[in-house]
Amino acid sequence: MRVEQIAVFLENKSGRLAEITRILAENEINIRALSVADTADFGILRLIVDKVDAAKESLQAGGFTVGKTDVIAVEVPDRTGGLASVLDTANDAQLNVEYMYAFVNKSGENAVLIFRFDRMDQAISVLQEKGFVLLSGEEICAL
């Protein structure tokens, strides 16, 4: 089960992140998860939002370079070892994690781990076979 994510390339300068969140807010787009990675010159903002196409269009209209990629959302209990269990399974299957980030809806319940693997279809199969719960984009937005 794949989840659509948008990736926004932005200059590493003051106010750019605020501008993105303002554009999304003005278009009534809800951010459910995000990750920011940066270098000295630019950053990549990865977002899971409730209206993927509208987010992409509104940010492009605002002058941002935006792409869509698929990721996998894995729900695990929010306790010690939750992430390790997924990573051990990926390692056993020789899957490479290109990047990941996480969020917790309510502490002590479940965490959602967002992954981009080098072999997405195999990752989905392996994780499902091992009994992990994979969430859809709609399920993430409903949390």
Query: pLDDT digits over 48-79, tens only?
Result: 999 999 999 999 999 999 999 999 999 998 88
* Token pair in block for residue 90: 């990926």
User: Interhelix angle for 82-92 vs 120-129, to 10°?
Assistant: 120
Of 73, 68, 56, give the one whose Cα is nearest residue 116: 73
Averaged over 16-34, what is the pLDDT? 95
More confident residue, 112 or 39: 112
Gap between the Cα atoms of 1 and 21, Å rounded: 27
Question: pTM here?
Answer: 0.89
User: Interhelix angle for 52-61 vs 16-26, to 10°?
Assistant: 130
Amino acid, res. 26: E
| Annotated domain spans of the chain | 3-69, 71-142
Domain 3-69 -> CATH class: alpha beta
Q: Which helix (H) or strand (E) holds 42?
A: strand 42-49
Gap between the Cα atoms of 68 and 53, Å rounded: 9
Gap between the Cα atoms of 28 and 50, Å rounded: 9
Architecture of domain 71-142: 2-Layer Sandwich (3.30)
Please report the pLDDT score of residue 4 as a whole number: 96
The residues near 25 (Cβ < 8 Å, ≥ 6 apart) are none
Which 3 state secondary structure label does DSSP give 35? strand
Matching fold, domains 3-69 and 71-142: yes
